[in-house]
Structures are given as structure tokens and as C-alpha cells.
Structure 1
Amino acid sequence: MGLFAHTGIAKLAPVTNGAARMRAVATGLLVLMAAIFFTARYLEPLHPGWGFVKAFAEAAMVGGLADWFAVTALFRHPLGLPIPHTAIIPRNKDRIGDTLALFLKDNFLTPSVVARRMYRVDVAAAAGRFLSNPDTSGEGRLRLGASRLFADLLDALDQERLGGMVKQAIASRLRTLDISPLFGQSLEAALREGRHIPLLDSVIGWCAETLAANEHLIREIVHERANAILRWTGLDEKVANAIISGLQKLLFDMADDPDHPLRVRAETALSNLAFDLQNDPEMQARVARWKQEIVDNPAMQRWMDGLWEEARSGLLRAARDPNAALAGKLGEAVKQLGLTLQQDERLRETINRFARRATVGATASYGDGLVRLVSDTIRGWDVDTVTGRLENAVGRDLQYIRVNGTLVGGLVGLAIHLFELWA
């Protein structure tokens, strides 16, 4: 469309093809009338009928020239002559911009006008239809376009810097989070609701399995620690069997008896730990140090890097294939949300009220800024840009005015000639 002007606005071509074609037609018609006039003037003595042709062509030239002058005077000086009250649009560019800005402000960007318009717009229902019927062609293209844009933006970002920002944000959040009371409250709730019992049972079962798998180690330890007399008499084997049997019985009793003393002691220890986590400053400081060491551990840093990469890959997959992302439970949830927005009148009214208030508030806050943007933008355009834009918009119709002026002028001239003959 041309090079950028110094204002940063792309200049348009002076006229579009349609306007240029109509300009050629109007100019050609004017030239034709001039040729007819001179021909009729030469042939008028030969026959009275040529007088009618001459009158028509003469008046048509006058009308065509007058309308050419009027049309040209809107955009530039006719023939480049600085005739007063010509080049009207270039001379009044700033005033036109200010008038257009005031027109927009008074008729479109006032809170009352926007509020009346928004009362007729059902934002919630439109959003509900979009969410519950995502397969329609227009909305599908919109969703695919938005997804593609989001994917391109995410893919274009500096991943090392962005990943570092995400990792720093997670680490900073973990450092400032006081996890001791959270752990203490969670442990206290688990004890109160009996959710610790399966954990204790699992620990006891693991201990029993470990004991069964390592009986030979206990026997070797007892055999090595026993003296020669015990080994000679075989008592070391009996001692080892007694130890193993005792431990097995202890574990079996703990598994079968919920009120076993060791289980009670374990629950008491857990209860004391829950209390200390919530109330003991020394315990809280110790947990805070452990948390800091874990956050600063290189393995934790690598885990957070992997977490970000997995999240980013998942976002890219969902953005590049929104249909697949919305095919499962997420898609059903989105559709259900859309149906709810359409069927729940109270929810729909709440959302519409929020949309109206937000739009009216944005108009009240930023309407003047938008108006100034229109005015300042037009002021920033150079004269050729403004002239070209307006001429492209109405140039074809203005050339029709020239054509009509030529023909109407000719008819008026013909009528005057007839009046002169009959008078």
C-alpha cells in the first residue's frame, strides 16, 4: 500500500481503481461534450437541429466544469492555483479530526449510551452458546485462531528466561510459606479422623516383611557376637530364634491390637509432633531450615525445571490441538458451564450486570482517552494521507456527481434553448 510516512501511518494510493475509472469516465464525458460543441457550432448554419445539439453540449460543458471544480476543490487546489476556499479538506484536517472525535464522544462513548446498548446485549448467553457448542464453524475458527496465537506466543518466548522466572517464583513462594502449622494441622486432622491408622498398619507390615527378609542377618550378628561356649553348645542359634520370634510376635500383636501400647505411644508421639509443629518455635525453626535446605538442593531445582517443562509442553499440546484438549472431562466441564450460563437466569443476570458495569466503567475511565487518540491520530496524519483516505472512501460517488452535472447541465441548456425559440 505504499511506504510509511513520517507519522508512522501507511499512505494509501491517491484513488482506488473504481474511483480512477469513474474519474476517467467523467473527464471523457466532458471532453466528448466539448467535441460535440465545436462540431455543432461548425455545422449549425447547415441545419437548425444542430442548434439544439450545440445548446446541450455547451450547457453540459458548463455543468461538468462547475462540478469538476467543486469536486476537486474538496481535496486540492484546482489546476494547482491557490484559489480561496479550495483544498477544503487539507486545510481543515485538524478541525475534521476534532469534530469526528467529539461526534464519537457524544454519540458512542458516553456511559449512558453504552449502558443502554449493553442492556440489549446478553453477554452470558453468548458465552454459554460459545462454550456449549464449540464445534460450529465460526466459533471453531475463533477457537483455533486464539489457540494458534497462544501457542505461537508461548513458543516465541525466551524459554530459559521464562523458565527461570517460573522457577524463581515457585522457590520464592516456597521460601515464604510457613509449612509447619500446615503440617501440624494436617497431622492433627488425620489423627482426629483416624486416617493415620492405615499408615501405621503399613509401617508394621513393612517391618514384618523386612524382618522376614533379613532373618539371616540377625542370625549372623548373634553368631558373631556370641562367645565360643555359646557357639559350641548351639545356644547362639536358640538366642537368634528367640529374638526373631519375639520381634515377629511384637509386630503381629501390634497389627492385631489397635490398643497395643506401642501403637498408643506412636499415636502419642504423632500428637505431640502435631502440637509442636503448630506451637513450638524451636520445632518451627527446625522445619523452616529443613525446608530451606530442600528448596536449595540441586535435585529440587532440577525437579522444578522439569515441572515447568512438563507444564509448558502440556500447554503447547492443548493450544495446538484444542479439540483434543476439550474432548475429555475438561470438554464436558466446559460444555456444562456453557449450559449453566444459558439456563441459570440468576447467574446470567449477575454476569451481564458485571459486564455492563465493567464496560460502562471502562467507557467513563478511558472514553476521553479514546477520543483524544482519534483526534491526535488524525492530527498526526500528513495531508496526503487524509486526502487519500477520504477520496478512496467517496471518490467514486463524487465522480458520479461530475457525470450527473454534465448531463443535467446539458438538459438545462436544451430547455433554455427551446424556451428562447418559443418565446
Structure 2
Amino acid sequence: MRITATLMLVAMGAVFALAHWQLDTHPVWGYVHAFAEAAMVGGLADWFAVTALFRHPLGIPIPHTAIIPQNKDRIADTMAGFLRRNFLTPHVVARRMRDMNVAYAAGEFLVQKREGEMGRVRTGMVELLVELLESLDPTRLGMQVKAGLARQAEKIEVSPLLGKMLEGAMADNRHRPLIDGMIRWAGLTLEDNEDMVRNMIHQRANAVLRWTGLDERLSNSVLDGLYRLLAEILVDPEHPLRGKVEEGLAKFAHDLQHDEALRAKVEKAKSDLLANPALGDWWMGVWERMRLSLIAMARNPDAAMQGQLGSSLKELGETLKSDPALQTQVNRLARRTLVGVVQRYGEQIVRLVSETVKRWDAQTITDRVENAVGRDLQFIRINGTLVGGLVGVTIHAVTQLI
């Protein structure tokens, strides 16, 4: 565009020379001469104006030229202030977010797997995730995560929490399968250790019982009675022993919440568990498997998206698209979060813009601004040439009429 505008100016110079040479041959050449003369003036004036924005015309340090490089710091502050006043204000962000359905857009993104729209985003996120997981020291990161989890666990008093969970489970009868499982486990354990039970009864029986062989019958009776008792407890939800077990569980749930001595014992057990090196070794193994799984998943996102992760994300997306109540909550959360970020970090964001522009040297800011708007500025030169020519013809016509 710069070449086009310059060639137009050169063409006006050639037309001016030709018209000046033919000026006495016909009155029309006077109009051509006036058009070309005024077009050269307009083109040169606009060339000077456009050039003066970015550099000194012809390298001559004329005052009020090279405006952008000489005032880049003031431009940076003005740009940052403009962003702060017109974009990064809470009410502007809130008004803009109020018109956006972020939840529905997120649901649409999760449900529809469109490579043309999601490919670059997904590829970029995958590369970033892989680089992050591979660049960080896994041992050091695992230790930091473990320490963070331990600090959070130390702040939580687990005894009342366990008590409420047990109390809630009993209120909904979710404890009964656990009791049934314990009864079945007791029966299997007794079956596997029948010889030990018989031997215990044989050793404790007196000589008369052993001599008469009644100890064997006694052993069979004891085992049969135990099996029958366990079966009755298992099939009868209202069995008295089952009720005793439930009473014990209810008391245990109550004591977990209100017995200071028991709460102290539970907290001590929790502290001992957290301080146990075996727990730390177990966590490091879990963390390494998680890290390697995440890397493998990131390197093969198609397989991950086709598996359980993809199904879960698709279900989440469909829920976000179809549930108005959930959309309202998610949109409200997104709006409040972004407004909070703008309110808290708006000044830092615009300061980043200002400081970044100020760190650019004069040539850098000149090149970037000129590349952004230079094409339109060359249209100014072209328009200036044409408008100048039309004004010249008009003035020449008026003078001829007068």
C-alpha cells in the first residue's frame, strides 16, 4: 500500500509536468494542471503526516515528528488507563457476563467433539500439561502435595465427622449390609478354624469327658450352635443380638461426637497415622502412578475421550446444556469469579500492559503499531491525493468563472 500511494504521487507529478508542457494548447489542460498540482500537494501533506507519526520525515528532526516513538511511555499509560476505565471495571464485566451463558457454552464444548474448533485448544492444553508434568520433580512435587494434604488433615477433627457419618448411615439403614458381611465373615472364619475350636474344647475338657468321648460330641454341639446362631442373626433383621450390635454402633457414633476421651484417642491415632513413614511411601507410589497415568492420558487424548473420562465429560456437558438451575448457578459463579478477579487484579493487569509497552524500544513499538494500522494510513495518503486533486480542480473552475 505504501508503494501504491507513492506511485500515485509520482503519477501526479508526471501528469503535472505533461499538463504544464501542454498548458497553452487547450483550456482543458488547465484543469488537468490544477488537479495534478493540488493532488501532489495533498499527497505530500498526507505523506508527511503519516510519516511523522512513526519517524522523522527524510530523517530530519522536525519538531512534533516521530510522535509514537518519542511518546511511547505516555501512550502506554494512556492505553492502560483506557483499558482500566472501559473494560476492566466490575460493572462492565458483570454486564457483559450477564448476557453470556457460560454453562451452556461449556456444555456444548464438552458434548460436541469438533476437531476444527477443539483441536488446537486441546493440542495446546495437552502439550502444556505434558511439559508441566515432565518438567516438575516428581519426588519433590509428591512431597509437597503430601505435606499439603497432611496439613489439611491435621486441621480436620475426624472423630465428629466419623460419628456423623456413622449416625447418618444407621438412620438410612446403610449399616445393615456391613453387619451382614461381618456375620458371613465370622461364619467363614469359624469354618476355617473348626479344628482349632475342637482342640481348645478337648484341652479344657476333664479326663472323664475325654475318656468317654463326650468332648467330641460337645465340640460338635458348640460348633453347630454357633453356626445356627450366626444363621439366625443373618436371616432375622430383628434378632436381639443384631439389636445389641446396632445399640453398640449407635453409642459408638454418639461417643465419637461427644466423648472427649474417645475424640482425643481418635485424633492421636490420626496423628500417628500421618506421621507413619509407611503412609508417606504409599502416597508416593500412588502419586507416581497418577502422574504417569495423566501423562499417558494426555499423550493419547483420543483414547481417553473414548473411555470413561469421555463418557463422564459428555454426561457433564449434557447436564450443563439441559439443566437451567445448574446453568444459573454456574453462570453466577463464573460472573462473580471474573468480577472478583477484575476488581482485585485489574490494576495489576493494566500495569502489566503499561510496563510491557514501556519496555519495548522505540523501533519495536513503531514497527508493531505501523504493522497494525499502516495499511489504513496509506489509504489516507491515497485519499489525500485524490481529494487534493478534486479541490484543485474546483478552485481552478471557480477562478475561471470569476
Whether these two folds match at TM > 0.5 is: yes
Name the CA distance, whole Å, in 2 between partners of 1:418 and 1:276.
108
Partner of 1:202: 185
1:279–1:237 CA distance, 2 compared to 1 (3 A): farther
Return the letter of the residue paired with 1:84: P
Name the CA distance, whole Å, in 2 between partners of 1:37 and 1:65.
14
The 8 Å contact of residues 39 and 386 in structure 2, kept in 1 or not, is answered as: yes
CA offsets 1:351-404 (integer angstroms, 9 cap, x no match): 334444444444444445444444444444333233222222232333344445
The 8 Å contact of residues 205 and 215 in structure 2, kept in 1 or not, is answered as: no
Q: Does 1:122 align with 2:97?
A: no
Say which SS state the counterpart of residue 193 (structure 2) adopts: helix
The 8 Å contact of residues 43 and 385 in structure 2, kept in 1 or not, is answered as: yes
1:134–1:249 CA distance, 2 compared to 1 (3 A): same
Name the CA distance, whole Å, in 1 between partners of 2:220 and 2:134.
64
Partner of 1:245: 220
The 8 Å contact of residues 56 and 414 in structure 1, kept in 2 or not, is answered as: yes
Q: Does 1:48 align with 2:48?
A: no
1:249–1:310 CA distance, 2 compared to 1 (3 A): same
Name the CA distance, whole Å, in 2 between partners of 1:380 and 1:185.
59
Alignment of 1:339-378 (within 5 A): 339-378=318-357
1:294–1:238 CA distance, 2 compared to 1 (3 A): farther
Partner of 1:138: 117
C-alpha displacement of 1:207? 1.7
Q: Does 1:311 align with 2:290?
A: yes
CA offsets 1:329-362 (integer angstroms, 9 cap, x no match): 5544443433333333344334334444444444
C-alpha displacement of 1:161? 0.6
Name the CA distance, whole Å, in 2 between partners of 1:262 and 1:403.
101
Q: Does 1:166 align with 2:145?
A: yes
The 8 Å contact of residues 127 and 338 in structure 1, kept in 2 or not, is answered as: yes
Number of residues paired by the alignment?
A: 392
Say which SS state the counterpart of residue 86 (structure 1) adopts: coil
Name the CA distance, whole Å, in 1 between partners of 2:110 and 2:274.
41
Name the CA distance, whole Å, in 2 between partners of 1:128 and 1:30.
57
Structure 1 unaligned runs (5+)? 1-21
C-alpha displacement of 1:199? 0.9
Name the CA distance, whole Å, in 2 between partners of 1:273 and 1:119.
51
Say which SS state the counterpart of residue 153 (structure 1) adopts: helix
Partner of 1:93: 72
CA RMSD of aligned residues (A): 4.8
Structure 2 unaligned runs (5+)? none
* Equivalent residue for 1:390, pick from 369, 384, 387: 369
C-alpha displacement of 1:107? 3.7
C-alpha displacement of 1:26? 3.8
C-alpha displacement of 1:176? 5.6
Partner of 2:230: 255
- Bigger radius of gyration among the two: 1
* TM-score scaled by length of structure 1: 0.69
Name the CA distance, whole Å, in 2 between partners of 1:419 and 1:266.
114
1:402–1:216 CA distance, 2 compared to 1 (3 A): same
